[in-house]
């Protein structure tokens, strides 16, 4: 493993930590800022909104400025936005810092994905991109393991932890030796071209369905289990949701290894079909143990395809537009996560059960698969998509 790949994985770890540094100290921050759960939810979501909405612009910036300069900007935003709330413990200022942190995470995500695509050994792009995503999941777990142990020394460690992790990466990025890459002189034309690529839309829909599945399961698993397990405790339900998210992280790691043996196109298509079958099971089965097993399988199959999607995407545009394409896919994935989460809430309110939401997802999976299978088979038959479609 070369140093650039190692740097990419450590950046993924840092990204995961900054994403979930607030929840471990939620009560402490509520008391510090004097806000309610509604208020603290604004602080929780501030980073997520700026991260999601800036994926495409971040990709365009990375393709225009280059990998190294964009990494410097992204890591600088992450470091400063993590450390500044310590200087001024004000709620509004903390929200502003989280929004700035989201700018940094969006820049770093697409840029690191491009860094891996450019410097990964031949045929290993998807594998190392999967590992990067897995290290992101490890970072989210690290937040829960590390920050609670540091809180006795002060609330400042909620922000110090991601800040301290970001600063070394920022200093190291100054010394990264990267070979010159062609830059997009007119980034607007690049995104217009990407919007016209059918394969990119299909991969984006696949990714939206998969990432949306994982996030929806994480958000609604306690409610799903409670519907068929009335005697359960809140702690048992929370552990069920945590187990599902942990399985999603394992899915991303195992997906990287599978790409060493199985074509990415086969992983992409088969995972969507299997998800459709699992959704039908979640729709029709109401035994808590079986529901948990099906949910765990759905979390795994919705994550194992991460590297496959981005490996295929790496072949459909020129190298100077890779970050924009990655931002486009991740933008669709985040939109899918938001919409599917909202759909489940609407289904729960209107029917009293989440079951019909899984029935709808089974239908969507089949529609997406049947719509995209032919296009992917034609354009990515050898995991190497043509440049002009």
How much is the pLDDT for 345?
A: 79
Distance CA 374, CA 389 (A): 14
How much is the pLDDT for 235?
A: 59
Q: Would you state the CATH architecture of domain 191-379? A: Up-down Bundle (1.20)
Q: How far is CA 241 from the centre of its chain?
A: 17
How much is the pLDDT for 90?
A: 93
Distance CA 134, CA 147 (A): 20
Distances (CA, A) of 313 to 202, 267, 383, 387: 10, 14, 9, 11
Torsion, CA 349, CA 245, CA 214, CA 338, rounded to 10 = 60
Q: Where are the domains of the chain?
A: 3-183, 191-379
Same fold, 3-183 and 191-379: yes
How much is the pLDDT for 78?
A: 96
Is the distance from CB of 106 to CB of 11 less than 8 angstroms? no
Is the distance from CB of 113 to CB of 5 less than 8 angstroms? no
Distance CA 54, CA 59 (A): 8
Task: Please give the structure tokens belonging to residue 310.
Answer: 């981005």
pLDDT by 10-residue block (mean), the chain, 389 residues: 88 90 85 85 82 87 89 96 94 95 94 89 81 85 84 94 94 85 61 85 94 79 77 65 80 88 92 96 88 92 91 81 85 84 81 88 94 83 43
> Which burial class, exposed, middle or buried, applies to 377 when counting CB atoms under 10 A from its CB (0-12, 13-18, 19+)?
exposed
SS (H, E, C) the chain: CCHHHHHHHHHHHHHHHHHCCCHHHHHHHHHHHCCCHHHHHHHHHHHHHHHHHCHHHHHHHHHHHCHHHHHHHHHHHHHHHHHHHHHCCCHHHHHHHHHHHHHHHHHHHHHHHHHHHHHCCCCCHHHHHHHHHHHHHHHHHHHHHHHHHHHHHCCCHHHHHHHHHHHHHHHHHHCCCCCCCCCCCCHHHHHHHHHCCHHHHHHHHHHHHHHHHHHHHHHHHHHHHHHHCCCCCHHHHHHHHHHHHHHHHHHHHHHHHHCCCCCHHHHHHHHHHHHHHHHHHHHHCCCHHHHHHHHHHHHHHCCCCHHHHHHHHCCCCCHHHHHHHHHHHHHHHHHHHHHHHHHHHHHHHHHCCCHHHHHHHHHHHHHHHHHHHHHHHHHCCCCCCCCCC
- Taking Cα atoms as reference points, which of 42, 63, 387 lies closest to residue 197? 387
Task: Please give the structure tokens belonging to residue 330.
Answer: 């991740």
Task: Please give the structure tokens belonging to residue 34.
Answer: 């004097």
Map tokens 């070369």 to a residue: 2
* Global pTM value: 0.75
Task: Please give the structure tokens belonging to residue 96.
Answer: 């502003």
- CATH 1.10.1380.10 matches 3-183: no
How much is the pLDDT for 302?
A: 94
Is the distance from CB of 75 to CB of 169 less than 8 angstroms? yes
How much is the pLDDT for 385?
A: 46
> Which burial class, exposed, middle or buried, applies to 189 when counting CB atoms under 10 A from its CB (0-12, 13-18, 19+)?
exposed
How much is the pLDDT for 97?
A: 96
């Amino acid at each position: 493993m070369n140093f650039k790949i190692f740097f990419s994985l450590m950046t993924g770890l840092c990204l995961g930590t900054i994403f979930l540094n607030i929840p471990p100290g939620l009560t402490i921050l509520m008391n510090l800022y004097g806000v309610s759960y509604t208020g603290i939810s604004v602080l929780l979501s501030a980073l997520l909104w700026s991260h999601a909405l800036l994926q495409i612009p971040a990709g365009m910036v990375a393709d225009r400025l280059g990998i190294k300069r964009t990494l410097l900007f992204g890591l600088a935003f992450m470091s400063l936005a993590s450390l500044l709330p310590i200087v001024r413990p004000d709620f509004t200022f903390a929200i502003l810092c989280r929004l700035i942190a989201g700018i940094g995470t969006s820049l770093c995500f697409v840029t690191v994905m491009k860094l891996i695509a450019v410097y990964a050994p031949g045929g290993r792009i998807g594998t190392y991109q999967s590992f990067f995503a897995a290290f992101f999941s490890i970072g989210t777990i690290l937040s829960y393991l590390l920050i609670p142990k540091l809180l006795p020394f002060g609330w400042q460690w909620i922000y110090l932890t991601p800040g301290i992790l970001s600063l070394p990466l920022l200093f190291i990025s100054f010394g990264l030796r990267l070979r010159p890459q062609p830059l997009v002189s007119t980034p607007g034309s690049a995104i217009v071209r990407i919007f016209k690529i059918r394969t990119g839309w299909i991969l984006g829909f696949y990714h939206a369905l998969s990432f949306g599945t994982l996030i929806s399961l994480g958000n609604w698993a306690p409610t799903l289990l409670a519907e068929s397990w009335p005697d359960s405790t809140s702690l048992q339900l929370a552990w069920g949701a945590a187990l599902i998210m942990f399985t999603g992280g394992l899915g991303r790691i195992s997906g990287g290894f599978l790409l060493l043996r199985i074509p990415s196109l086969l992983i992409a298509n088969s995972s969507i079909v299997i998800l459709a079958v699992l959704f039908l099971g979640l729709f029709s089965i109401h035994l808590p143990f079986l529901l948990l097993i099906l949910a765990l399988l759905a979390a795994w199959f919705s994550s194992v395809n991460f590297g496959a999607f981005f490996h295929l995407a790496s072949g459909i545009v020129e190298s100077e537009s890779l970050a924009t394409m990655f931002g486009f896919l991740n933008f669709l994935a985040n939109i899918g996560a938001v919409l599917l989460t909202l759909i489940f809430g609407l289904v729960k309110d209107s029917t009293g059960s989440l079951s019909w939401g899984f029935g709808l997802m089974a239908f969507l999976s089949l529609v997406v698969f049947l719509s995209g299978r032919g296009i992917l088979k034609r354009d990515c038959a050898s995991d190497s998509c043509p440049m002009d479609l």
